[in-house]
Structure 1
Amino acid sequence: MVFLCFWALTLVACCTTSLAEASDLSHLHPPLWDESPGQFSDFQVKNNVYIINAWVYPQRMGMYKILLNQTARYFSKFGPENEQNILWGLCLQHGWQYNTGRLVDPSRRTSCGYESADPLCISVDSWWADINYFLSALPFLAAVDSGILGVSPHQVKLLPPPKDQMKFCYDVASCHLTFPEKMNKWNLFYQYLQSPSSNFDDLLQHLWAAHTSSLEGISEHFDDRMAYYYKPEAEFGKNWTLAVEYLAAVRIPTTMIRVHESQKGLPPRVLLDTDVAPFISDLTYFQNTVLSVLNILCSVDQMTGSLSLTLWKNVMKAQIVRKLVLDLLDYFIVT
């Protein structure tokens, strides 16, 4: 158990940082933030329905932008400039996927996502893009359903990808029908967000509950995509979904500065067959460490039959323990 906690703490250390002061946060925005839609009127309108193509990067990013803009007023009591908005984690993660080439067609059967042809395209054959869909479409449509975005649930429609259309949902009604528990978790988050008595820790609890619910049982539907990647990248993707469970238990604050700094530990490109952490020469020590910890974490989880994760979740139920973990990690990182 001590060994497990050491590595789990190391993982969390790689994914958190102290909150630095910043007078201008615009440089922390994800790629093409300014070019992405920031309001519903920026999208195509047909028969009074806003049509969003979530398979084009700026439009999927635009969904996040609208979410962050419309929820800013609820996070103003926690800090200025919307920096404490915990939805930044989803947004910045998507930007990292775009920046690192993880949204392109890994099969290379199309030009989707490639700089020389169609750089803004998001490929349905990308494992990362498919998993991210459930962390963009579901929170966005649930926000529409909650009324927090100011439009009717009947006024928003997402376009389907060119194939595997039955694996996704495209509006509030179909998402509730196909993924009721996941949508309900997001609805609970937005309901609590609008409560005058909401506090930051409980907001994180609701957010991480919705986040992990969105991923539950999803990855297996896209296992065939893993055949397009080299083994190190495929393992990294699977390890990352497991790591999210550990991070969720600690309720890592997914605010702008924290997430931006933590992403410095993520690999800046798709991993190749020759990449063996911690000996990847063009990756930083931090990035090699993160990959190594993820590999060990996955091995421990497999050896214990996920008992390690269960124990970790139980330990992290105590608020004082979570606070101690975050305080210790911030201290070690700063010093």
Structure 2
Amino acid sequence: MRLLLLGLLLVGSCCLSRAGLILENGAPIMWAHATSQPTDLTITEGVLTPDPWHYLHRMSFYRILIAATDPYMTSMGPGDNQSPIWGLPLQLGWMLTSGTVDAVLDPELCPVLAQVQMQSPAGVEGYCTTYDSCKTAHPDVINNWDSFFQGLKDATTSPLPENEKKDAILGLYWRAQMSSTAAHSTCQDKLSSYSGVEKSFAHSWLNAAEYVAAAHFQSSLELASQFMSPLPGRILKEDDSPPNIPDLSAEENHSLYIFSWMQSVDNFLGGTLASMWRRAMCSVTTRENGREMLKQLLFNPEYATSSFLSIVTSMSTSCGS
């Protein structure tokens, strides 16, 4: 899965931009134009040399990855498009429509015979371009993705109930995804080009991901697009004052308010809100409840933030007892 891990690592690095358009004909933006065959990508002297800054190259990574891993995703539930990996191409499409576009390769999951060397465009520095260089630069990231892919294979012979296998797979997925997100430090010098409001949103969005990850959110095509739909439809400007931005919808303003509120409370409490949440997500059942709480918080304006705090405190205490 080395090709796939390289793409996954890179997409976790820079994720500041987004837009309201999430789906195109029921799929991620330009999904129909992405290839499903690794050998359709650029090959130079027998070496696969895709460009991770090329939108369709990267979208192709995700199409290949989803197709390769879908046979191992039966625990995710009936029907198509249940894989949590759908969240990645949806996020990439979200980045494209905002105007800014920025693996472990197990032969049993994705038989790619060519070697892989990612392209690195002129003026772009600080990114690893091969499996070995990424393993050296970001060992935890690569190890966590290795564990995820191995966990997929192990699940096919596991005696656990399907809901527990699903929860275990999602746990491995989010551990890997969050370690990729943590690698965004390579993009810190790019932050100066954004407004202060946009940078605040970026930080609050990353903070919110901690809650989503701990709850083992199933970022299927349907659920991921649902949760991404209220994100702001444009880059935030310096004079924007959420949640009172006139040209954004009520849903967009509400999502900005919620993300900012979560970040502010966590900062005020010295990080203890996020810590309590992680402690509260201690079982399959509490994680199911946690996903419903996040849904209410994001989509139900009548859901009191004070209720969220009290429930999290109670849940974390119960888990610790």
Cα shift at 1:28: 2.3
1:250-329 to structure 2, matched below 5 A, reads: 250-327=215-292
Whole-angstrom distance in 2 between the partners of 1:76 and 1:320: 20
Kindly tell me the number of residue pairs found equivalent between the two proteins: 271
Structure 1 position 328, deviation (Å): 5.9
1:94 to 68, 79, 92: 92
In the alignment, the residues of structure 2 paired with residue 168 and residue 251 of structure 1 have an alpha-carbon distance, to the nearest angstrom, of: 28
Match of 1:151 in 2: 112
CA 1:39 to 1:284, structure 2 compared with 1: closer, same or farther past 3 Å?
same
Measured after TM superposition, the shift of residue 146 of structure 1 is: 6.2
Is this contact kept in 1: 2:41–2:50, CA < 8 A? yes
Q: Distance in 2 between matches of 1:224 and 1:287?
A: 28
Whether contact under 8 Å (1:75, 1:82) holds in the other structure is: no
Cα shift readout 1:186-217 (whole Å, capped 9, x = no counterpart): 0100001112145211111000000111122x
Aligned amino acid, residue 187 of structure 1: D
Distance change in 2, residues 1:56/1:314 (3 Å): same
- Identity of paired residues, percent? 28
| Alignment partner, residue 54 of structure 1 | 52
Which of 165, 168, 171 lines up with 1:202 in the alignment? 168
Cα distance in structure 2, aligned partners of 1:297 and 1:229: 21
The one-letter code sitting in structure 1 at the alignment partner of 2:109 is: I
Native 8 Å contact 1:76 1:82 kept in 2: no
- Counterpart of 2:310? none
CA distances 1:216-271 after superposition (whole Å, capped 9, x unpaired): 2x333322211111111111111111111111111111111001111111011111
1:168-207 to structure 2, matched below 5 A, reads 168-195=127-154, 196-197=156-157, 199-207=165-173
CA distance in 1, matches of 2:176, 2:218: 14
TM-score (norm 2): 0.78
Alignment of 1:25-174 (within 5 A): 27-76=25-74, 78-79=76-77, 82-101=80-99, 103=100, 122=101, 129=102, 141-142=103-104, 144-145=105-106, 147-152=108-113, 155-165=115-125, 167-174=126-133
| Amino acid paired to 1:183 | I
Q: CA deviation at 1:79?
A: 4.2
Partner SS for 2:117: strand
* TM-score under structure 1 length normalisation: 0.75
**Shift in alpha-carbon separation, 1:295–1:192, aligned structure 2, 3 A:** same
- Unpaired runs of 5+ residues, structure 2, are 1-22, 159-164, 301-321
Q: What runs of 5+ residues in structure 1 fail to find an aligned partner?
A: 1-24, 104-121, 123-128, 130-140
